[in-house]
Structure 1
Amino acid sequence: MLFGIDIPVLFVLFSQAIALVIIFAAFVVWRKAKSRIEEQERTKQALLSRTQELQAILSSMGEGIIVVDTDFRISLMNQTASVLLRVAPFEAMQKQVFEVFPVFRGKEQVVETRDLLWKVMEQPDILNIRLKDDYYCRNKAGGIFSIAMVAASLMRKGEIGGVIIAFHDIQEEKDIDRAKTEFVSLASHQLRTPLSTVNWYAEMLLAGDAGKLNKEQKKYVDEVYRGTQRMVELVNALLNVSRLELGTFAVEPKPTDIGKLVQSAIDEQSPQINGKGLRVETAFDNAIPLVPADPKLLRMVVQNLLSNAVKYTPQAGTIGVSLSLNSQKNVLLKVSDTGYGIPKSQHDKIFTKLFRADNVREKDTEGTGLGLYVVKAIIDQSGGAIWFESEENKGTTFYVTVPLAGMKKKEGVKSFA
């Protein structure tokens, strides 16, 4: 006996106590396991719900969405992309993106998908392709459509883990833009005849062909003449823009002495240069060979850059014009001035159609905002490049490269005005 209790009875009581402890512990473990399983199930259901919600959002988006990994293989594609590209999402998985989503520029049809995406695969960035960039995509059925596209680096744990692409078919917008351009071209063409007539009669009156004008009459006719000249300049600019955008202009390259062409453009500006007391400094490399280029187009580039420098440089300022060989592949044209400069906040808009910087609009109301747009379009068509450096109230320098290989011949029904 122990404590007055039989040993067998004590043993039974002790065994029962241990069993109760074990049962309680098992119950606690079971409750915790059940709670954990229930929590996991709730998490699973929440993730499933979020996944279904994300899939619904992706499927209902108007843009095609494609996600590629660092090997340029497709890891996700939404329903819109599937419809546009005529390929089922499961067929596209793990295929190279350029096989399913071949993107090219203009009529060349040289696939550039990988090259474009490489820019945002190398470092965090965003690539924008808009209507004016003239990019197309060919779907699996062979259909070709215009696209606008945004591609962004896909970040995972602070590193680039791929690229996400959003794109859509802009063929309708392109057709509307083309119709608008054709209308501008037609309207501008119809305006040229009456403007030329007014201009011609104003010249005759100023020359005294209809009798001598008194001082007041001459003043009025001179205002008519100068106003007509501005209108003719605007109409010609609109015609040039429409011909560029419609692709109806001809390119007729011939061996061109760029130095002589630039000097001729400077000589044409002499009245305006002398009128403002500007100093022109030139430096031409004599080693530049003849370049196969369309002299009319190249002259338009030089005239626009030079006339801007003259127009936007105050009295007694300085304009610099230089030509040099930039490596063995390009001719570099540099046009600098000590003028008003371009506000830093507007640098990215300077080649936009009809754009004029705020600071020059206040000083000059006669510009069209089309000159630099035309210049960039011509240089882009020529395989060259244009860029600039500018500081407000200190001046601007434009740089243009023209390939020594020259411009490619292009058949067209129109020449530039």
Structure 2
Amino acid sequence: AGFALAVILLFGYRLWPGIALGTFLEVVLEGLPVPIAFATAAGSAGGALAGAYLLNRMGFHNSLERLRDVLGLAVLGSMVSTTISATSGAVSFYLSSIIPWAASGPFWMTWWLGDVLGVIVVAPIVLVWSIRSRLDLRPVHIAEALALLTSLVLVSDTVFSEPDNILNSPYIMFPFLIWAALRFGLRGATSAIMIVSGIAIWHTAHGIGPFIKGTPAGSLGFLQVFTGVVALTILILAAVITEGKKSEEVLRESEESNRRLVDFSPYGIAIHSERKLLYVNLAGARILGASNPDELIGKTVFHFITPELHDIIEERILMEEELKTSASWEEKFLRLDGTSIDVEVVSIPFTFMRKPAMYTVFQDITERKKAEKIHLENLRLEAADKAKSEFFANMSHELRTPLNASIGFSELLIMGMAGKLNEKQKQYVDNIFASNKFLLTLINDILDLSKIEAGKIELVPEKISLPVTINETLTLIKEKAIKHNVLIKTEFEPGLESIEADKQRVKQVLFNLLNNAVKFSKDEGGTITITAKKEGGMAKISVSDTGIGIKDENTGKLFQKFEQLDPGISKKYGGTGLGLAITKHLVELHGGNIRVESMYGEGSTFTFTLPIEPKERGET
């Protein structure tokens, strides 16, 4: 019965015909009638199928590592399912007139006890040893197993073979069976049960041992009860031990996994009770300036808090412990070297070793704080810069109206519309007119720069003739060039006719460069050469002069706003320091770039590029 049940549990219900056939042949070979063989085969297969079905319904594990599996096997697999085979056998023997009705009860009981014993003794050893697991082949373990086997065989043989021996009590076997269960688990326990049961059955069958009580049937009954009780007890003990070890192993693995997660967490984690640190992980030690967590164990939390915050932190801890609620805040911690850091803290109250404790998670946010401070400062500067630009723009608009009126009236006076001026009066009016024109230029430059910095300047691109645009700009500077004895030449590459650009802004760029070239010419005059040629998809325009040139150390400051290269030169030639800064922005808005090459005392060349075809414009 035990072997049949184990086979069904291991290989499935499909093997029941083999069990039935094997039982049938066994009974026939014993010389019993065929009807009894059929009934016995049906009972054996039916009992195995019923037992396997009931066990599978309860979620039975073949490893028998849980107490519920052993109890399920004892109740459902042996006591319940074996009633089928016992009943089938007893009824078939009675109907075949082999036993009288009066003997059918004891006959059924003997059959049932035998099958129960088979399930409890045989099924476990088949099931347990069928599961693959690593054997402990260490010499010490093998030596202990051999010692147990030898002791078990010798003591069992002594107990069951010598009825008058002082060791005749079968309960002397229990220490050795417990030894097997404790040290060798379920495999050791099932093997020990099989050895003891085999020796006991062999001696009892030969009329020797403590279970010889009157009739053979009575002796067999005592043997079956003893073997069943011993087997069930040791199986339960082994299952409890194995289940406990499994639970301990799972708990240990869980604790180890949790410890590794905590130890190697990127966040600092600490546990403190009564304000003393009991645990700190690696990240926490690193944040607090320790090379090893052990350096921090035993120190109070106030060791890492500035003195003026001690009372506040103490009140916070007391409140959290009283309310049993977590809290988060930002604080400054002191490292072991005395330096302070910004930290973000989350603390959770809990009970540790029957004492109130705090589980604290913290991270260094010093860099984040610095970044936030820089970001806020940038926002403040941007707001201030924007306000400044808006102020300049508004003020420029407000100033241009009266300034234009002043320029207009000055021109009327120069033209003699209010009467002829004497030389002194004409000199005064000329100074007023020149100063107003300079101030208007400055205001216009400031207005342009404010628009650029505020992102409010918009280009109006159109298809323009580059030679025409350059020549139109030259007419604006021609009179000033003649006055300074400067000759202007142009060189246009054939085929470069039109580009896509804002004509007024291109003329503004050209005028700024030409105006500077004329203004910074030498006293004896000079030459300005404008070249335009195609380079890839860009138009390359250069303005070269033979003026005073620029020192190497000053070229990097040319395109910065309000930058004057030399106070002496600025005083002599004048200027706002905004023209080239605006020029650079306007070129970049078109998607081009500008650069300068200069030799001090020999002249300078400013070169800028503009896209020939429409393309995405640059940003301010």
SS in 1 for 2:572: coil
| Aligned residue number for residue 263 of structure 1 | 471
Cα distance in 1, alignment partners of residues 592 and 337 from structure 2: 44
Cα deviation, residue 191, structure 1 = 0.8
| Cross-structure match for 1:370 | 578
State the shift of 1:388 in Å. 0.8
Asked whether the equivalents of residues 278 and 319 of structure 1 are also in contact (C-alpha less than 8 Å), the reply is yes
Match of 1:322 among 505, 511, 531: 531
Is 1:204 the counterpart of 2:490? The answer is: no
The amino acid of 2:383's aligned partner reads: D
* Contact 2:564/2:570 (<8 A) preserved: no
The equivalences for 1:168-247 within 5 A come to 170-247=378-455
| Residues paired across the two proteins, number | 271
- SS of residue matched to 2:383: helix
* Aligned counterparts of 1:406 and 1:58: Cα–Cα separation in 2: 56
Instruction: State the AA in 1 paired with 2:521.
Output: T
Q: Is the 8 A contact 1:243 1:249 kept in 2?
A: yes
Name the CA distance, whole Å, in 1 between partners of 2:337 and 2:606.
49
Alpha-carbon distance in structure 2 between the residues aligned to 1:78 and 1:339: 59
**CA 234–57 in structure 1, closer or farther in 2 if over 3 Å, else same:** farther
Task: Give 2:544's aligned amino acid.
Answer: S
Residue of structure 2 aligned with 1:292, choices 479, 495, 500: 500
Q: Secondary structure at the match of 1:396?
A: strand
Of 517, 525, 532, which aligns to 1:309?
517
- Structure 2 residue matching 1:323: 3-state secondary structure: strand
Residues 533 and 540, structure 2, Cα contact 8 Å, conserved in 1: yes
2:540 is matched with 332
- Give the Å deviation of 1:379: 1.1
Q: Which amino acid aligns with 2:365?
A: Q
Amino acid in the other structure paired with 1:264: E
- Correspondence for 1:384 among 568, 592, 601: 592
Is the CA contact (8 Å cut-off) linking 2:519 and 2:573 kept in structure 1?
no
Q: Which has the larger radius of gyration?
A: 2
Q: Is the 8 A contact 1:312 1:360 kept in 2?
A: no
Once superposed, what is the RMSD of the aligned Cα atoms?
3.2
Establish whether residue 398 from structure 1 lines up as the match of residue 603 from structure 2.
no
CA gap of 1:358–1:55, structure 2 versus 1, over 3 A, is: farther
TM-score, normalised to structure 2, is 0.40
Structure 2 gap ranges (5+): 1-285, 293-333, 344-362
Cα distance in 2 for residues equivalent to 1:346 and 1:54: 49
Contact persistence 1:185–1:239 (CA under 8 A): yes
2:591 and 2:616 in contact (8 A); partners too:
no
8 Å Cα contact 1:281/1:320 also seen in 2: yes
Equivalent residue number for residue 291 of structure 2: 48
Matches of 1:267 and 1:78, distance apart in 2: 66
Deviation at 1:406, TM superposition (A): 3.7
SS in structure 2 opposite 1:313?
Answer: coil
Q: Percent identity?
A: 29
Deviation at 1:359, TM superposition (A): 6.8
> In structure 2, how many angstroms separate the alpha carbons of the residues matched to 1:186 and 1:407?
32
| Counterpart Cα distance in 1 of 2:571 and 2:488 | 22
Once residues 59 and 335 of structure 1 are traced to their aligned partners in structure 2, the CA distance between those partners, rounded to angstroms, is: 56
Instruction: Give the 3-state SS of the residue equivalent to 2:291 in structure 1.
Output: helix
Partners of 1:58 and 1:78 within 8 A in 2: no
User: What code does the residue aligned with 2:593 have?
Assistant: A
Q: What amino acid does structure 2 have at the position aligned with 1:221?
A: V
- Residue 263 of structure 1 and its aligned partner are, at CA, apart by 1.6
Shift of 1:364: 2.6
* Change beyond 3 A, Cα 1:324–1:240: same
Higher helix share: 2
**CA 1:226–1:46 in structure 2 vs 1: closer, same or farther (change >3 Å)?**
closer
Displaced runs of 4 or more, over 6 A: 44-47, 52-58, 83-86
Q: Distance in 1 between matches of 2:336 and 2:555?
A: 39
CA distance in 1, matches of 2:410, 2:489: 37
Q: Shift of the alpha carbon at 1:355?
A: 0.7
Separation of aligned partners in 2, 1:205 and 1:386: 42
* 2:201 aligned residue: none
Query: What residue number does 1:79 align with?
Result: 365
Q: Distance in 1 between matches of 2:459 and 2:595?
A: 23
State the Cα deviation string for residues 131-178 of structure 1 (Å, max 9, x = none): xxxxxxxxxxxxxx996xxxxxxxxxxxxxxxxxxxx86121111111
- Between the aligned partners of 1:343 and 1:57, the Cα distance in structure 2 is 48
- The answer for unaligned runs of 5 or more in structure 1 is 1-43, 62-76, 87-144, 148-167, 411-417
Deviation at 1:225, TM superposition (A): 0.8
Distance 1:368 1:84, change over 3 A: same
* 1:404, distance to aligned residue in structure 2 (A): 1.4
> TM-score by structure 1 length?
0.59
Which deviations, in whole Å up to 9, do the C-alpha atoms of 1:353-393 show, x marking residues without a partner?
01121176256352000000000111111110101111211
